[in-house]
Amino acid sequence: MIQKYRNHIQKETNLSDQETWWLLQHITKKSHAELLLADQLTKQEISELEDAIIQIKTNHKPLAYIIGFVPFLDLKIQVEAPILIPRVETEEWVNKIIQDFAPHQDQIKNICDMGTGSGCIALALAKHFPNAHVTAVDINHQALSLAQQNATLNNIKNIRFVHSNLFAQLPSNIQFDLIVSNPPYIDFKRHANMQPQVTKWEDAQALFAQEQGLAISISILQNSLKFLKKNNAFSTQLILEIDHDQHEQVITIAESFGWHAQAVPDSFLKWRTIWCKIK
């Protein structure tokens, strides 16, 4: 019987099959297995479902903000508007870091996640590099509070949270082995062509940047050199997420500051990150 509710959700929204199950599980507080055995939703559950459909269809509210969390690798990350919702593209390159740096597990002592948002990147790295100390930085107090909640939720303790405008409030003598960032990188000119699920709900400060979307990336490329401890054993020490059409510009800028820079595509064959090594 649960199939009729799934069909109704997918008819009224653009949710995937997996997202449909997440919504039903959230509303009923039942597991996937329990839902398969369910005959009907209660009147209260049907009312909540219809309200959620209206939120998604009419108000363009992202599903993640309705159910309050997203999975990120092996973490459960709480989300709340307007803090940026973690994307699978970001999850993919963070997983690549974990795999690539696994042989250097003992050498990585200090990691910085610049612009941590929900904390998903910082917490994933803290969990998989338990001997490292992770510094999660953000200018947004709400983001930092949410990231701290996610650290508690996932029982991750080798992390600290710093309120700072990029590197401004970090001690000048601190040295990291690795700096990562998913900075604001979208050109303001693209706003009109973006989905309302993004522009109406997620923090513009976490999405858009001046100078054709490159201003924050430029600042990170320029200032990271002062906060990194050079290690020739590492193939990279700075990783930036970028917009898919920015790779050539970002590589040129990076090399002008003294980096060896390489663009790395995601599984959709779009340029997604720039991996930088100190020359």
8 A C-beta contact, residue 204 and residue 239 = no
Interval 14-19 mean pLDDT: 94
**Does the global pTM surpass 0.75?**
yes
1 has a pLDDT exceeding 80: no
38 confidence band (pLDDT: 50, 70, 90): confident
Where do we find the tokens 């709480």? 78
108 has a pLDDT exceeding 90: yes
pLDDT, tens digit, for every residue of 222-267?
A: 999 999 999 999 999 999 999 999 999 999 999 999 999 999 999 9
**CA gap 97, 99 in Å, rounded:** 5
Interval 88-107 mean pLDDT: 96
Number of neighbouring beta carbons within 10 Å of residue 215: 15
Q: Is 208 helix (H, G, I), strand (E, B) or coil?
A: strand
Give the phi and the psi of residue 133 in degrees, each rounded to 5. Answer: -105, 125
Number of neighbouring beta carbons within 10 Å of residue 255: 14
Q: Is 139 helix (H, G, I), strand (E, B) or coil?
A: coil
**CA gap 196, 38 in Å, rounded:** 34
Number of neighbouring beta carbons within 10 Å of residue 62: 19
Q: What's 266's DSSP letter?
A: -
**CA gap 142, 205 in Å, rounded:** 13
Number of neighbouring beta carbons within 10 Å of residue 271: 18
Alpha-carbon dihedral sign for residues 158, 162, 166, 170: negative
pLDDT for res 151: 98
Give the phi and the psi of residue 273 in degrees, each rounded to 5. Answer: -140, 155
Q: Prior bond to 184 cis, omega within 30?
A: no
126 confidence band (pLDDT: 50, 70, 90): very high
8 A C-beta contact, residue 178 and residue 203 = no
Where do we find the tokens 């990147």? 121
What percentage of residues in the chain have a pLDDT greater than 90? 96
Q: Is 6 helix (H, G, I), strand (E, B) or coil?
A: helix
| Alpha helices, DSSP H, located in the chain | 2-12, 17-28, 32-36, 43-57, 63-67, 88-100, 120-128, 141-153, 196-199, 204-207, 215-224, 247-256
202: burial class by Cβ within 10 Å (0-12, 13-18, 19+)?
buried
Strand locations in 198-267, DSSP E?
208-209, 238-241, 259-265
Cα dihedral 52→53→57→58 (10° resolution): -60
pLDDT, tens digit, for every residue of 155-173?
A: 999 999 999 999 999 998 9
